């Protein structure tokens, strides 16, 4: 409703913005490069970041830039994921019904992956989101999953995505066997004041803004309030835009 008031053609801060139109910081560019490298080399990567740092955005962008003729992406996000449901979820995405027992399902998955690689020439990329909520049994299963043909090669690219506490756990001695299998570890940080300004400008440009809607002082306050967490300040800016529209005496402000 507020879009026309500000002379906008689209909603500037929403979840369904095309990923190629999103603000992309240098940090995000680097993360995307490492994700692509992980897929190409079929490696094991851990991506962490506090809530609101853009992990979901990074994964969305990564999935959409991968060549679908070369890679098959399988995505799981379940805070109560068990080994059996892990294999069941992956096999369902491959169009197969999982066998009941965990060991049978694991062998079934390996067979499906061999067919995928050998016949369809596709490299599997498995993304497990909300991985900081997984229990130790599930994280241990990840290590066993990667054991394939006497460790000669990894059967897939595996990417664990979660909040920083995931890496804090993996650094513990009790997780050493899992940690030793990790090839890459990346951490997303909050945006700084300059990046917040660039983010706002980029998204307003996408929406079709032809006027400066936010002053530098307003951006300062947005940064101070959000500490650079994209998810939080995007929501805050949307509230500011709605508030400005509702409190304006003349609803034709920019449209006129």
Does residue 159 have a pLDDT over 50? yes
| pLDDT category of residue 211 using cuts at 50, 70 and 90 | confident
* Residue 153 in tokens: 């090669």
Q: Going by C-beta distance under 8 Å and a sequence separation of 6 or more, which residues neighbour residue 89?
A: 74, 76, 78, 81
Q: What is the pLDDT of residues 170-196, one digit of tens each?
A: 999 999 999 999 999 999 999 999 999
Q: Which domains does the chain have, with CATH numbers?
A: 4-20+191-247 (no CATH), 26-188 (3.40.50.300)
What pLDDT is recorded for position 88?
95
Separation in Å, CA 245 to CA 7, 215, 220, 225: 12, 16, 21, 21
Of the CA atoms within 13 Å of residue 34, those in its CB half-sphere come to 18
In 3D space, the residue among 181, 165, 159 whose CA is nearest the CA of residue 132 turns out to be 165
Does residue 1 have a pLDDT over 70? no
Instruction: Tell me the Ramachandran region of residue 225: left when phi exceeds 0, alpha when psi lies from -120 to 50, beta otherwise.
Output: alpha
Q: What is the pTM of this model?
A: 0.89
Q: What is the pLDDT of residues 67-104, one digit of tens each?
A: 999 999 999 998 889 999 999 999 999 999 999 999 89
Query: Per-residue pLDDT averaged across 104-123, rounded?
Result: 93
């Amino acid at each position: 409703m507020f879009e026309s008031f500000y002379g906008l053609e689209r909603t500037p801060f929403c979840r369904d913005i095309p990923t190629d139109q999103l603000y992309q910081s240098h940090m995000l560019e680097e993360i995307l490069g490492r994700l692509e490298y992980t897929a190409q080399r079929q490696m094991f990567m851990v991506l962490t970041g506090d809530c609101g740092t853009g992990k979901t955005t990074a994964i969305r962008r990564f999935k959409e830039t991968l060549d679908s003729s070369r890679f098959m992406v399988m995505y799981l996000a379940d805070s109560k994921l068990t080994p059996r449901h892990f294999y069941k979820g992956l096999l369902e995405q491959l169009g197969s019904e999982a066998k009941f027992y965990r060991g049978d399902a694991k062998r079934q998955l390996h067979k499906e992956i061999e067919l995928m690689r050998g016949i369809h020439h596709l490299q599997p990329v498995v993304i497990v989101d909300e991985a900081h909520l997984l229990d130790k049994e599930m994280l241990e299963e990840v290590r066993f999953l990667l054991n394939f043909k006497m460790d000669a090669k990894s059967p897939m690219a595996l990417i664990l995505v979660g909040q920083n506490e995931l890496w804090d756990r993996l650094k513990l001695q009790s997780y050493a066997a899992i940690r030793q299998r990790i090839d890459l570890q990346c951490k997303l940080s909050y945006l700084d004041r300059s990046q917040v300004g660039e983010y706002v400008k980029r998204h307003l440009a996408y929406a079709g803004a032809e006027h400066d809607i936010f002053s530098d002082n307003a951006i300062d306050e947005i940064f101070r309030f959000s500490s650079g967490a994209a998810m939080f300040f995007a929501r805050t800016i949307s509230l500011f835009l709605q508030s400005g529209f509702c409190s304006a005496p003349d609803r034709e402000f920019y449209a006129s």
